[in-house]
């Protein structure tokens, strides 16, 4: 633990620093996730009853609150110390079932790791993180969760499009929840500084706390590799593009963390990324996520290599990543078509080529195949090749498919950036009125139980509307948050 308390920005040699959230002007609740609360055995009304806890104006009595220190490779380059620049852990919570979780306030103010920034978060990025965390959870994707989103009653200056035009935006805070917030970058930083004893201490701590039953470093690394493979296979299944797969944004538990300029595929396009900051090289494009997962695991392997006498277990772990990903990805992509036989993989490839050439919407296409409507309705092209589409359908129809498997593997809708932008606008109205925003709860419930929201879901499961193409923030996003 850092011997210095407080938020003075500095290089820190230890793994975490005690620092308290900065007070905000007027904390109020925008939404609490009922499903996240239920998973923790917490009543949403308990959250409602304590507005001053929502933003860290008040703290749970006796809680040691802190921000942690990590480094990371950003867009392929070593970035040195990063750390929780605006996330402060406020509680360690153990549910009645004995499940541990750590609660963090994101946007809670300056910490020693804030570098050149303000420690705050704006409403738009907080809505995006809140909704995505909860929707991803109900789609069965491994993810950190979001318990509540609160307004601060304060404004934050942001240059939203990185074009030199900073403007005030509403400030907000998300309380996010995870069994662990340890990232690859937590090991990379002490390793880069030659602090091998600290790497070992942290590895032992992480293994004991977050990997019950795992007793060797080799098994620990293997498990991290496996969990990363599982997470990315799920991303590819639902068409999720993280957007900023830097090693500081990779959780050792294989949970999706740090929802920033993420997006979901519209038309199937492996080269797509929603992140304008990455538009040049497209390092984190959809089709490259599995390879980046491998690259990131290699960075972790290097960081923890001092724990091993020879590198074989690390190489084995990386091979295990590849094998796990390849087999799960095949299984899931087949399952999206209701199939289980690997002999049908050429059909998956054929559909992917067709989706790409005919600009078919990734989510809508599988629902069309499931429900028997016309694939031409799934195309963003004015005149899709109808012959090619029906040729595929007739081939596919000869397969014996499992519809339950299809339902379990295909989202009815996914939170596209244009929908989120509408939700952000809706939330802004509640923010201005100082009230809870039911639209946020409806959105996350509509992912878990689409049949309860027929009108909304009909709109959200359809093709991207034309207006959203020209609206900024609806297809492309910067890292500004
Ligand atoms: P990200 O790209 O969001 O993963 O953030 C990379 C690094 O920048 C992390 O160390 C964050 O904590 C830090 N960071 C991002 N935004 C802010 C902010 N507004 N204030 C302080 N630190 C920030
Ligand atoms: Mg981050």
Question: What distance, in Å, lies between the first and last C-alpha atoms of the chain?
Answer: 28
Give burial (CB, 10 Å; 0-12/13-18/19+) of 137. buried
> Which ligand gives the minimal distance to the CA of 87?
1
Active-site option among 2, 84, 210, 248: 248
What is the DSSP track for 232-279?
Answer: HHHHHHHTEE-S---GGGBBTT--B---SS-EE-SB--TT--SBGGGT
Percentage of the chain exceeding pLDDT 70: 100
CB-based burial of residue 45 (10 Å sphere; 0-12 exposed, 13-18 middle, 19+ buried)? Answer: exposed
295 exposure class (CB count in 10 Å sphere: 0-12, 13-18, 19+):
middle
Q: How many angstroms separate the Cα of 378 from the Cα of each of 211, 291, 389?
A: 43, 29, 10
What are the strands, taking DSSP E only, across 63-158? Answer: 66-68, 73-74, 77-78, 87-94, 100-106, 121-122, 145-158
Q: What does the DSSP 8-state code read for residue 465?
A: P
Q: Are 479 and 244 in contact (CB under 8 A)?
A: yes
Q: What pLDDT digit, counting tens, does each position of 64-99 carry?
A: 999 999 999 999 999 999 999 999 999 999 988 888
Cβ atoms of 155 and 168 within 8 Å: the answer is yes
Report the alpha-carbon distance of residue 477 to residue 122 in Å, rounded: 14
According to the model, what pLDDT value does residue 138 have? 97
Query: Smallest Cα–Cα separation from 247: which of 325, 301, 311?
Result: 301
Return the pLDDT at 25. 96
Name the closest-CA residue to atom 11, ligand 1. 85
pLDDT (tens digit per residue) in 175-190: 999 999 999 999 999 9
pLDDT (0 to 100) of residue 270: 97
Cα 258 to middle of ligand 2, angstroms: 5
User: Taking all residues of the chain, what is their mean pLDDT, rounded to a whole number?
Assistant: 96
User: CA 370, CA 450: separation in Å to the nearest integer?
Assistant: 16
Q: Which atom of ligand 1 is nearest to the CA of 249?
A: 4
Q: Which pLDDT band holds residue 468 (cuts at 50, 70, 90)? A: confident
User: Where is average pLDDT lowest: 238-252, 349-363, 454-468?
Assistant: 454-468
Decide if pLDDT at 476 tops 80.
no
What residues sit around ligand 2, an ion, with C-beta below 5 angstroms? Answer: 249, 258
User: Which ligand 1 atom is nearest residue 83's CA?
Assistant: 10
User: With 0-12 CB in 10 A as exposed, 13-18 as middle and 19+ as buried, what is 351?
Assistant: buried
What is this structure's pTM? 0.97
Q: What one-character-per-residue DSSP string does 9-39 give?
A: ----SSSEEE-PPPP-S--EEEEE-HHHHHH
For ligand 1, which residues put their CB under 6 angstroms from it? 82-86, 113-114, 117-120, 244, 248-249, 258, 260, 479
248 labelled catalytic: yes
Q: What is the pLDDT of residue 260?
A: 96
- Give per-residue pLDDT as tens, 209-220: 999 999 999 999
CA of 153 to the centre of ligand 1 (A): 21
Query: Which atom of ligand 1 lies at the shortest distance from residue 82's CA?
Result: 10
User: pLDDT at position 96, please?
Assistant: 86
Q: How many CB atoms lie within 10 A of CB 402?
A: 14
Query: Helix, strand or coil for residue 107?
Result: coil
- Taking the centre of ligand 2 as the mean of its atom positions, its distance from the CA of residue 176, in whole angstroms, is 13
Residue 478 reports pLDDT greater than 90: no
Q: Which ligand is nearest the CA of 112, by number?
A: 1
Q: Which two tokens stand for residue 214?
A: 């795992």
Closest C-alpha to 146, from 113, 179, 175: 175
Ligand 1 midpoint to CA 119 (Å): 8
- In the chain, what are the domain boundaries? 342-409
What is the spatial distance between Cα 66 and Cα 141, in angstroms, rounded to a whole number? 28
């Amino acid at each position: 633990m850092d011997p210095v308390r407080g938020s003075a920005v500095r290089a820190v040699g230890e793994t975490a620093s005690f620092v308290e959230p900065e007070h905000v002007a007027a904390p109020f609740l925008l939404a609490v996730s009922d499903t996240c609360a239920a998973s923790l055995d917490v009543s949403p009304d308990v959250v409602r009853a304590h507005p001053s806890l929502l933003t860290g104006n008040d703290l749970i009595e006796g809680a040691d609150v802190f921000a942690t220190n990590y480094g990371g490779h950003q867009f392929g380059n070593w970035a040195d110390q990063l750390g929780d620049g605006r996330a402060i852990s406020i509680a360690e919570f153990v549910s009645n079932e004995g499940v541990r979780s750590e609660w963090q306030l994101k946007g809670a103010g300056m910490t020693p790791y804030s570098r050149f920034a303000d420690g705050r978060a704006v409403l738009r990025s907080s809505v995006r993180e809140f909704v995505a965390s909860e929707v991803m959870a109900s789609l069965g994707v491994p993810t950190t969760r979001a318990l509540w989103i609160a307004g601060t009653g304060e404004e934050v200056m942001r240059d939203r499009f990185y074009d030199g035009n900073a403007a005030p935006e509403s400030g907000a805070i998300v309380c996010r929840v995870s069994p662990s917030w340890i990232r690859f970058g937590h090991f990379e930083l002490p390793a880069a500084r030659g602090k091998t004893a600290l790497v070992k201490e942290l590895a032992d701590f992480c293994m004991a706390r977050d990997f019950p039953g795992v007793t060797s470093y080799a098994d620990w690394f293997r498990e991290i590799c496996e969990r990363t493979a599982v997470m990315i296979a799920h991303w590819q299944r639902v068409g999720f593009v993280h957007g900023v797969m830097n090693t500081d944004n990779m959780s050792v538990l294989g949970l999706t963390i740090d929802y920033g300029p993420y997006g979901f595929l519209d038309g199937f396009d492996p080269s797509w990324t929603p992140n304008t900051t990455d538009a040049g090289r497209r390092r984190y494009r959809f089709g490259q996520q599995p390879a980046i997962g491998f690259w990131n695991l290699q960075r972790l392997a290097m960081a923890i290599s001092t724990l091993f006498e020879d590198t074989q277990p690390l190489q084995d772990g990386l091979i295990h990543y590849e094998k796990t990903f390849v087999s799960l990805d095949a299984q899931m992509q087949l399952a999206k078509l209701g199939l289980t036989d690997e002999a049908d993989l050429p059909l998956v490839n054929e559909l992917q080529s067709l989706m790409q050439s005919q600009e078919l919407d990734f989510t809508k296409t599988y629902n069309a195949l499931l429900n028997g409507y016309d694939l031409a309705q799934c195309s963003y092209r004015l005149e899709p090749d109808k012959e090619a589409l029906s040729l595929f359908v007739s081939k596919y129809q000869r397969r014996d498919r499992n519809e339950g498997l299809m339902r379990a593997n295909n989202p009815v809708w996914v939170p596209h950036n244009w929908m989120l932008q509408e939700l952000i606008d809706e939330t802004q109205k509640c923010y201005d009125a100082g009230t809870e925003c039911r639209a946020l709860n409806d959105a996350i419930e509509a992912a878990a139980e689409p049949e309860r929201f027929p009108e909304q879901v009909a709109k959200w499961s359809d093709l991207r509307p034309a207006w959203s193409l020209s609206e900024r923030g609806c297809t492309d996003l910067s890292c500004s948050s």
